[in-house]
Amino acid sequence: MNAEKELSLNIDHVSKRFLIDGRELNILDDINLEIRQGEFISIVGASGCGKSTLLKMIIGLENVTDGRIVIDGGEVTSSEEVKIGMAFQEARLYPWLTVAENIEFGIPDHVAVADRKALIKKQIGLVGLKGFEKAYPNQLSGGMQQRVSIARALVSDPDILLLDEPFGALDALTRINMQNEILDIWKKAKKTMLLVTHDIDEAIFLSDRIVVFSGRPGQIRQIIPVDSSRPRDRSSAEFVRIRKNIFKEFFAETDLDPEYYI
């Protein structure tokens, strides 16, 4: 879908190898993925298959070994101005900054001081942390820290948002709330979203396309489009069919090698 939309992110024959203890380890092998502007993509795959590594390469924290990643027509390494945001797998908050200050750290430098308060307030409301503005990270639960981290990524208002298992530490209810929020933000701001998740329902609920990775070295095993309109009913026939489809992918792999799990 969205074939007429402009390309936002092009992952072009990307491979990644890490040197571990003098040995080269194949982590990602020939990944090809074209993401259109405003598209919502989820990546699911076994632990250790290189999902976080792929996001880090997109945002420029890791180099690609082979291939290239092009963002809005510019190569990652040469992009000073392109705006990609990322919520890391771990919250990565600054322990010496309060919740409000951590979120403020995400606000770009050019935003006027007068506008900052409103931005922070909005984000705090969005992630449900009202009353905790002055708390320090070590006074928060893991899930709350994760929400601050998401707020910090959102407040930077990037065109492309990378989310690395952002709802992993949340309870089922908060998780569903956050999924709705993300969907809302995505609809309103028309951002390109790339979400890594272990939650298959979450992927189906949110995505335009679901990218299923195989393990070691990570390869794209299948790309599953989800065409039904949002908000999606988690018990609809379409939903169940896709869920079965993805499960099948995993169990096929599990049969080959019991070490992989999701």
Of 160 and 195, which CB lies nearer to Mg ion in the complex structure?
195
Residue in 20, 113, 172, 237 binding ligand ATP, rule: CB under 6 A: 20
Q: How far apart are CA 76 and CA 82, in angstroms?
A: 9
Only segment of 47-55, 58-66, 130-138, 213-221 that touches Mg ion (CB under 5 A): 47-55
Do residues 16 and 184 lie in contact, with contact meaning Cβ atoms separated by under 8 Å? no
Question: Binding marks (x or -) toward other proteins, 142..171, rule CB under 8 A?
Answer: ----------x---x---------------
The secondary structure of 157-215 as a DSSP string is --SEEEEESTTTTS-HHHHHHHHHHHHHHHHHH--EEEEE-S-HHHHHHH-SEEEEEET
Token pair belonging to 35 = 């993401």
Q: With contact defined as beta carbons under 8 Å apart, do 53 and 28 qualify?
A: yes
Contact region with other proteins (CB under 8 A), list: 18-26, 35-43, 44-52, 84-92? 84-92
Interface of this chain with ligand ATP, residues 227 to 256, rule: CB under 6 A:
none
Q: Which stretch binds Mg ion (CB under 5 A): 89-97, 136-144, 170-178, 179-187?
A: 89-97
Identify residues 4-33 at the interface with other proteins (CB under 8 A).
none
Sole window of 20-28, 58-66, 70-78, 171-179 interacting with other proteins (rule: CB under 8 A): 58-66
Using CB under 8 A, pick the residue from 21, 113, 138, 235 that binds other proteins: 138
Alpha helices by DSSP H, listed for the chain, are 51-59, 99-105, 113-126, 142-155, 172-189, 200-206, 237-256
Q: Which amino acid is at 39?
A: E
The binding site for ligand ATP (CB under 6 A) comprises 18, 20, 27, 47-53, 89
